[in-house]
Amino acid sequence: MKLHVIGAGLAGLACALEAAEAGAEVVLHEATAQAGGRCRSFHDPLLDRMVDNGSHLLLTANAEVLDFLKRGGGHSLLHEITPARFPMYDLTKGRLHMIRPGKIPPGLGWRDLWGVWQLRKGRGTVADCLRKAPLYRLLWQPLCEAALNTAPEEASAALLWQVLKESLLAGEKASRPLIVEKGLGPTFIAPVLARLTALGAEIRFGHRLRAIEEDALVFDDGRIGFGHAVLALPNAAAADLLPQQVERLPHRAIVNAHYRLDRPVRLPGGLPFLGLAGATAQWLFLREDVLSVTVSAADALAACPTADIALLLWHDVSRALGLPAVPPAWRIIKEQRATIVQTPQTEAFRNRLRRSTSPHSRVFLAGDWTEAGLPCTMEAAIRSGRRAARAVIAVAANWDGRTSQNGEPAISCGHL
């Protein structure tokens, strides 16, 4: 069986690895010059350091991520924080709070418990359920925006409940933070590319798919006949290629700032990450002398000039860490389409996409935006890629060349 995987982000890499390990002949096509998509590392000449395009906080509950790393070989590069704890610094009050999974957070009230119970029902938005909770500003809002990249006023309550159920509410062992010490590229991408090469997969960089015909994939350099393909692409790219089958969904931005420090610092709480409440900056990550700041649900911030963003975020950092007001060397990265907006309406679309699976499809979809029931995270991307690969393998032997009524290849989300 020959499988063409379009897109070498996490979903595409997971799909290619699953298929190649099952014995398929895999050709992985990537439009850019490097793999990783939104999970990549690069050398920044201004900082003279390797930085990630964005910071990610993984948990031991992320079973798909951990399995992917074990199979690829990057698992040993993770550092597990034991016991699980999450330092949150309230910038308004100048006070550090330590959230410890498995223990009752200080200040928890009955409205917090009632709000979590409302989340469990899966109706409406996060703000509908938790807006009046005492820990809304310190815990629920930061958690919602970090996990769903969507403001609580529009974020799906059902999705946040799923996050809580699989992590914090599952106990301390499921909630331990996993720190990527060497960067996303060396941990997630390079080992998997090496594994794919060892398995005989062909990897084509700078190979952008332009169209899908009934019997061919059309690239810049020509047409390639195919039997089965997986589109592991962002929602907007998939919608461009398949406008009749894929709905273009609204997105939300994530802004990341990287500062090269000129002196050693220690984050409050003593861990290499820190959450901020009452600030524009939301999460701080420290790796050696580079301090990274992440802001989710950041459409308004992303519209600002980069110099203004650097000053605004550093103002929060300097207050929290007691550093000089003038920022050191910085780099701002704007992911304008970091994830789809994760509202009850978009979740309904993802559920419809999941139910549209056909056992006779030639073209399958993967990507975090296709994985109903999970927020658009690494976990969702990897899970979707593996599901798509298993679905292709399951139907490949019995595929009869059938197409949809309009002559287009039938489409599957890969959820068999």
| Torsion, CA 179, CA 182, CA 186, CA 189, rounded to 10 | 30
* Per-residue pLDDT at 96: 96
* Per-residue pLDDT at 102: 87
Measuring CA to CA, which residue among 351, 271, 230, 291 is closest to residue 51?
291
Q: Mind giving me the DSSP string for 340-398?
A: E---HHHHHHHHHHHHT--TT-SEEEESGGG-TTS-SSHHHHHHHHHHHHHHHHHHHTT
Q: With beta carbons less than 8 A apart as the criterion, state whether 293 and 281 touch.
A: yes
Rounded CA-CA distance 79/102 in Å is 21
Task: Walk across the sheet containing 25-30 and list its strands.
Answer: 202-205, 25-30, 2-6, 228-232, 363-366, 411-412
Q: With beta carbons less than 8 A apart as the criterion, state whether 130 and 148 touch.
A: no
Measuring CA to CA, which residue among 314, 397, 411, 321 is closest to residue 366?
411
Distant-in-sequence, close-in-space partners of 107: CB < 8 Å, separation ≥ 6 = 97, 134, 135, 138
Residues of the chain with CATH 3.50.50.60: 2-32+206-249+342-412
Q: What residue type is assigned to position 198 of the chain? A: A
Is the link from the previous residue into 83 a cis peptide, with omega within 30 of 0? yes
* Per-residue pLDDT at 244: 85
User: Rounded to an integer, what is the distance from CA 273 to the centroid of its chain?
Assistant: 18
Ramachandran bin of 326, using left for φ above 0, alpha for ψ from -120 to 50, beta for the remaining angles: beta
* Per-residue pLDDT at 80: 96
Output the CA angle 399-373-256, nearest 5 degrees: 110
pLDDT tens for the chain, 416 residues long, are 899 999 999 999 999 999 999 999 999 999 999 999 999 999 999 999 999 998 888 999 999 999 999 999 999 999 999 999 999 999 999 999 999 998 988 899 999 999 999 999 988 999 999 999 999 999 999 999 999 999 999 999 999 999 999 998 999 999 999 999 899 999 999 999 999 999 999 999 999 999 999 889 999 999 999 989 999 999 999 999 998 888 899 999 999 999 999 999 999 999 999 999 999 999 999 999 999 999 999 999 999 999 999 999 999 999 999 999 999 999 999 999 999 999 999 998 888 887 654 434 689 999 999 998 899 999 999 999 999 999 999 887 665 444 444 444 444 554 33
The CATH H-level (homologous superfamily) assignment of domain 2-32+206-249+342-412 is FAD/NAD(P)-binding domain (3.50.50.60)
The pTM score is: 0.92
Residue holding tokens 């009934």?
214
